[in-house]
Amino acid sequence: MDRVFRQSAWASLVLWAGALVMLFPAVWMVLSAFKSPQELLDYPPTFLPQAWSFEYIQYIWTERNFGRMMLNSVFVSTTVTLLTVLSSAYIAHVFREFRFPLRRPLFYLIIATTMIPLPVLVLPHFQIVYWFGWLNTYQALILPYALWGFGVFLIYQFLAGFPRDLIEAARIEGASERQIFQYIVLPLIKSPCVALGIITFLHQWESLLWPLIAANSPDMQLLPAGLAALSNNAIESADLFNPYSAALIAAFPLLVAFLIFQRMIVKGIAMTGIK
Amino acid sequence: MPFSINRRQIILSSSAIAASLALPRIALASDEGGTATGVRYARRDQINNGEPIRLEYWEWSGQRAEYQRAWAEAYSEMYPNVEIEIVLQPWDSYWPSLITNVPAGAGPAMWHMHASKMVEFCDGNLMDPIPASVADADYLNHHWIGFPEGAMSCPGTGSLHTVPMGAMMPLLFINLDKWQAAGLTEDDIPTTWDQLREVAALLTERDGRNRITVAGLSMDGQEWLQNAVYQQGRYLFNADGTQVQVQNPEYRAALQFIADLVHTDGTLDNEIASQRYDGFAAGQSAMYIGFSWIAGFLRANRPDMNWVAVLLPTPDGDLAPAYGNIRFAIEAVVNPYTDDTTKEVAWDFWHFNYSRDDVIVEDLALFNGFLPPYDQVLGDPRVEGDVLASTMSPAGGFGIINDLPNVVRDEQLELVTAVILGQGDLDTLMADSERAQNALLAERDNWNIIERNYANHAMMIADQ
Amino acid sequence: MTSRNLFIYGAPVLAGGFFLVWYILPIGWVVGISFWDYSPIGSNNAPAGLDNFREALFEDHVFWAAVRNTVYFTFGNVVLGTILALFIANGLARLKLVRRFAQTAYFMPTLFSVVAAAVVWEEIFQPRFGILNNGLYYITDLLGLPPFPEIGWTTTTEWSMPTVILFGLWKFLGIRIIILLAAIEAVPRDLYEAASIEGGSRWQQFRYITIPMIKPAIWFVVIAGVINSFQVFEPMYVITDGGPLRSTISIVMLITETAFERQRFGYSASISVMLFLTILAVTAVLFWLRSRSDEI
C-alpha cells in the first residue's frame, strides 16, 4: 500500500530543499550570535564568526537585563498556562456535569468571547490595570489571560465524548465532587489538557502586545517586549550590540523544548486544530 | 592625526561666548565647589542616618553607564550605606516605562532626561523641582550659556527641574581613510553646499554591479532638513509656534539637496540612507552629517576608525544667518513620587556631582561629544584642548536652540524618506507633509517652540 | 453552603466573573469610549459623537493605509500560506526518506519566538548588507546565471509588505502543515489504493481524494488564518516598524500607536470597534461560504 502513497524523487528533493530554507534563519541566528557587533558591520558579511565568543550573549544577559526577563517570561507563561488549563478543565467539567440556572446562556457567552479579538481588549485592559495601579506587576500580565473561552470549549468537547458511568460509580462510592474532578475527570482529559497547555504556553511565550503596554520597567519586562525594544535601535541609543545574541536568548528555550518534545507538541497543536 | 581646521578666515565668534569671555572670572573655591555650576558641596557626616538605602538610576545608553557607575562608586565611598544601581533600558521602552511608572510611585529614584521629552514630563509633573543647592537659577542665568533663550524650565510654570550636561551641534563627520584614498586634502574640506556635493561625488564607491558600497555622503535626514532650513534664514514654525511652515523656497531647497544627491549625483541611495550613523561607523558612507554625540559613539565603538569632524557646510559658506540647531542634553532628574528620604539622597548625589568640574567637563560634556554649556569652564584646558569642542565653538552663537516635538520629527523623517524613494514631486510631498504635521500639532496646545529666541533673530528672514 | 454546592457554583461564578471583568465590560467600554475624546492620563475628555469614526473614515489617510496593508497581508498570508502548506503537507505525508528531519525543519518556525524570529529576519533581509541578497547574488554568480538583482526588501514601499508576508508564510507555515498533515494522515489509505488501480495520477489522487477528504481542515486553516491575520502586529512592528512611509502599518499597530503614543484612546477605540466588526463580518461570510461548499 505504501508503494502507492509515496513521493516522486524530484518532489522529495524540493521538500528537502524547502526544509533547509526553513531552517536557515535559525542556523544564521546561532552563527551570528557569537560574532562581535563590529564584525556584524563588515561587508561583505562573514558566514562563520571570526572568533566564537560568549561575551556578547553574556553582555545581553547581564547588562541588558535578559536574565531577569527570562525569569519573568518563564514565571508568567507557566502561571498563565497552569491557571488556564486548570480553570478551563474545572469549568468545562461543571458545565457538562451539572444543571444550574443560566447554564446555557453563560456557556454561549463563554463561546462568544472567543470571537473578540484580543488586540481590541488592550485599551480597556490597560484602563483596568491603570485604575488598580497594577502597571508593571505580575498580576497585570497574568490575570487577563488566566482563562480562555477556547480552552473551556476545547475541553468541554472532549468531555462530551466520555461516558459518565465512572463518575456515577465514584459518586455512589461516596467520593466528593472535588475528588471526582481531581482523580477521575482530570486523568481522562489529560491529552486535551496537555494540548491546551502547549498552545497556551506558546501564545504566552510569544506574546508582545499586552506585555509591551502593561509591563515596561526593566525588572518586569518579558523577553519579547525587551527584545523588541532593544532591537528597535532608536537613533538616540548610540549603542552597538549584537541583535542575534538577544534573539538567541529569547528563542533558545522553546527551540530546545521543541527538539526534545517534538512529538508531544505537534500532537497537541494538531489536536487543538481539529474542531 | 594633525588635521587643523582653519577654513573660516573670519571667526564669527558667538555672541554668548564673546559675552562670557568679557565677564570677570569669578574665583570659586575649587576644592569644594564647581567652577562650572557654582555649586559647592560640603561632605556630610552621614546621610540617611547611616542606614542602608538603594537607589535606581536609569540610562538608555550603554556607553554612558560606565562613568555613571564611577559616580555611584565615588558617592558610595563617601557614604557606604548608599548603593546606586545604574539600570540600562533601551530608548524605545525607556520613556513609556517612566511615564507609567513614575506617577505610580514605582519608577527609579533618578534618571537621565532628554530635552525632547520635557514638554510631556512637565505636563505630567514627572520631575521634582531642582533644589537651590544643586542649581541656583540666578547663577545659571549669568553663566549657563543659552539659559535665557533655551527655556529649560517648564512652559507655563517656569519651574526648573534639570540642568544641562552639554550643548550639541550638527557636524560633518569625515572618514579620513576614505578621504585620503580619494586623493583629497584638508584644503578640500567643503564649506558650501555645492562643494559638499562635489566631494561627495568623489568619495562615492561602487561595486561591479554599480551598486553604491560607500556613499559619498549620508545623514540623518530629519536633522539635515532642520539645519538646512535654518541655514537659509527660515524657521520651521510660524511666529506663535502653533503650525509648521513647510511650503517655502528654503524648505524646498533643503529637500532638493537630498534629491540631488540621490537622483542626480548618485552619491547616496535609500539603502545606505536608511542605515544612518551605524552606516558611517561601518564604513558604508565616507561623510555623515549628524549631531556631535556621534563622536562619543564612534570613540566608544570604533576606536580604530580614522575620522574627523568639521563644521557643516552652509549654502554659501557663511555662518550667518544661522548655522543650525543646538540641542541641550540634560541629566539630573529626580522622581517626585518617591519618599522624601530617597529624594534627599538623590538630590544630594546630584549636588555632589554638580560640584565636580571633572564630572561636568569630562564625563558629561567631552566624553559625549558635547560642549559644556557653562561659561566658566570654556577656558578650561581640557575644553580648549578638545578637538570637537574647539571645532564647534565658532558656530555656537549661530545655533538655534529648539527641540522639535516628536510628531514633527517623525513626519520630517517620513518626508525625507519619500524624497529619497522618489514618491512624487517635491511640492506635493511638502504640501502633504505640512498638512499632516499641522494636524498632529493641533492635538496639543503648547508645544514650547522656542526657535525664535535665537540670539541672531534679526538676521533671519523678516516677517515669516 | 455545602462543599458540593461550592464546587458546582464556583465554576459559573468564576467563569461569569472572569469574562464579565476581562471581556464583556471591556468590550462595552471600548464601544462607549469610541464616541468620546478620551485619555486616561489627560484631562480634556469630552463627548465626540461620531467624530472619531468620521475622522478615521474620511480624513485619516493613515487609517486607510493600515486597512489596505492589513488586507494585503491577510490575502497574501492566507492564500499563499494555505496553498503552500497544502502541498508541503501532502508531500511530507508521502515522503519516505528522512521524513523526520524535513518535518522538524518545517515545524521549527512555529516554536521560534515571533519577535526573535522577526529580529533575525530584519537582519537577513537588509538589502545591501544582509545575507539574503548577497547570498543569492553569490550563488547566481557562482552558477554563471544572470546576477540576482538587489531587492529592497525592507526599505522600499513596494517590497516591504511582501517581505512581511514572506515572514508570515515562514513563521505560520508549520502550524498549518501540522493541522493539514494530521488530516491527510487520517484519510483511509485504501482510497488511494483503489485510485491507483484505476490509473489515477498523483495529481488526481491529490485533487480528487486528498482535498475533498480534508476539506474541514482546510477551512479551519483558512478561517483561523484570516482571523489571526487581521490582528497582525508583531512582524511589522519589529521588521519594518510600519515603514517605510507607512507601507506596512497594520490596524493593530495603528490602534496602539494612536492610544499609547498620541494618547487618543477615543479615536483608538473607534478603530478597535471597526476592526472587531470587520472580523465578525468576514468570519460570518467565511462560515457561510463553508456551509455552501458543503452543500455542493
Most A CBs within 10 Å: which of B68, B85, B92, B209, as the mutation test of the A interface?
Answer: B92
What would the pLDDT profile of A96-128 be if each residue is shown by its tens digit? 999 999 999 999 999 999 999 999 999 999 999
* Residues of chain A with C-beta less than 8 angstroms from the C-beta of C265: 123, 127
Which residue stretches of chain C have pLDDT < 70? 1, 42-43, 295-296
Q: What is the pLDDT of residue A25?
A: 96
ipTM summary value: 0.93
Cell representation of residue B132: 537651590
C224: left (phi over 0), alpha (psi -120 to 50) or beta: alpha
User: HSE (CB half, 13 Å, CA atoms) of B150?
Assistant: 29
Cα B65 versus chain centre, distance: 18
Q: Are B277 and B215 in contact (CB under 8 A)?
A: no
* A-chain residues near C202 (CB < 8 A): 8
pLDDT tens digits, one per residue of C150-166? 899 999 999 999 999 99
pLDDT tier, B38 (very low <50, low <70, confident <90, very high otherwise): confident
Does residue A7 form part of some domain?
A: no
pLDDT band at B33 (very low <50, low <70, confident <90, very high): low
- The answer to whether residue A3 scores a pLDDT higher than 70 is no
Proportion of chain B above pLDDT 90, given as a percent: 49
Domain ranges of chain C: 49-295
pLDDT at B463 over 60: yes
Number of domains in chain A: 1
Question: Would the pLDDT of A93 be above 50?
Answer: yes
CATH code, domain carrying A188: 1.10.3720.10
Which of A22, A28, A115 is facing C170, going by the closest CB pair?
A: A22
Gap between the Cα atoms of B77 and A6, Å rounded: 75
Return the number of other C-beta atoms located less than 10 Å from residue B333's C-beta.
Answer: 28
Q: Decide if A237 and B58 are in contact by the 8 Å CB cutoff.
A: no
* Residue B147 binned pLDDT confidence (cut-offs 50, 70, 90): low
Distance from C-alpha of B410 to C-alpha of B405, rounded to nearest angstrom:
9
Q: Residue A10's pLDDT is what?
A: 85
User: What φ, ψ does residue C36 adopt, rounded to 5°?
Assistant: -130, 160
pLDDT at A204: 95
For chain B, the farthest-separated pair of C-alpha atoms sits apart, in whole angstroms, at 71
pLDDT tens per residue across span A200-231: 999 999 999 999 999 988 889 999 999 999 98
Task: Say whether C245 and B270 touch across the interface (CB within 8 A).
Answer: no
Helix, strand or coil, per DSSP, at residue B307:
strand
Range of the domain at A211: 66-227+245-273
Q: Is the pTM of this model over 0.90?
A: yes
Mean pLDDT of B187-200: 96
pLDDT of residue A248 exceeding 60, the answer is: yes
pLDDT tops 80 at residue A275? no
pLDDT in tens, B373-399: 888 888 888 888 888 888 888 888 899
For B42, other C-beta atoms within 10 Å of its C-beta total 9
Mutate to test the interface with C, among A97, A114, A123 (most CBs of C within 10 A): A123
Chain-chain contact of A218 with B114 (C-beta, under 8 angstroms) = no
First to last CA, chain C: 55
- Cα B260 versus chain centre, distance: 27
Which uninterrupted H or E stretch holds B218?
Answer: strand B218-219
Q: For position C146, what pLDDT does the model report?
A: 87
Single out the residue of A191, A230, A198 nearest to residue C111, CA to CA: A198
Q: Which letter, b or e, does each residue of C101-136 get, where b requires 16 or more Cβ atoms within 10 Å of its Cβ?
A: ebbbbbbbbbbbbbbbbbbbbbbbbbbbbbbbbbbe
Residue of C nearest to A12 (CA): C95
For residue A50, give every residue at least 6 positions away whose Cβ sits within 8 Å of its Cβ, in sequence order, or none: A35, A36, A39
Q: Give the CATH H-level superfamily of domain C49-295.
A: MetI-like (1.10.3720.10)
d(CA B111, CA A238) in angstroms, rounded, equals 17
At B102, is the secondary structure helix, strand, or coil?
Answer: coil
B16, pLDDT greater than 80: no
A82 belongs to a structural domain: yes
Task: Locate A226 and state its grid cell.
Answer: 525587551
Chain C's closest residue to B413, CA to CA, is C245
Q: What's the rounded Cα separation, in Å, for the pair C244 and C247?
A: 6
pLDDT value of residue B397: 85
Nearest by Cα to C7 from A185, A164, A80, A180:
A180
> Alpha-carbon distance A257 to A205, whole Å?
13
B385, burial (CB in 10 Å: exposed 0-12, middle 13-18, buried 19+)? exposed
Q: Mean pLDDT of all residues in chain A?
A: 90
User: What's the pLDDT score for residue C96?
Assistant: 80
Q: Is residue A205 part of a domain?
A: yes
C-alpha cell at C182: 494530521
Question: Domains plus CATH for chain B?
Answer: 28-167+327-385 (3.40.190.10), 170-322+404-459 (3.40.190.10)
- Rounded CA-CA distance B128/B125 in Å is 8
CB B419 within 8 A of CB B261: no
With vertex at residue A245, the alpha carbon angle to CA A243 and CA A246, rounded to the nearest 5 degrees, is 65
Report residue B15's pLDDT band, with 50, 70 and 90 as the boundaries. very low
The residue among A169 and B146 whose pLDDT is bigger is: A169
Q: Is the pLDDT at A235 greater than 70, yes or no? A: no
In a domain, A1, yes or no: no
- In whole angstroms, give the CA distance from residue B205 to residue C52: 51
CA distance A26 to chain B (A): 24
Is residue A152 within 8 Å of residue A200, measured between CB atoms? no
H/E stretch holding A135 reads: none
CA distance linking residue C72 with residue B248, whole number of Å = 37
pLDDT tens, residue by residue, B255-278: 999 999 999 999 999 888 888 888
In degrees, rounded to 5, the angle at the alpha carbon of residue B67 between the alpha carbons of residues A224 and A225 is 5
Rounded Cα distance between A73 and A207, Å, is 10
- B384-391: long-range contacts, CB 8 A cutoff, minimum separation 24: B387/B308, B387/B309, B388/B171, B388/B292, B388/B295, B388/B309, B389/B365, B391/B5, B391/B171, B391/B309, B391/B310, B391/B311
DSSP result, B118-137 = HHHHHHTT-SPPPPTTT--H
Q: What is the pLDDT of residues A49-79, one digit of tens each?
A: 998 989 999 999 998 999 999 999 999 999 9
Whether chain C has a CB inside 8 Å of the CB on B411: the answer is no
User: What does the alpha-carbon distance between residue B328 and residue B396 come to, in Å, rounded to a whole number?
Assistant: 12
Spatial CA neighbour of B247 closest among B259, B231, B229, B262: B229
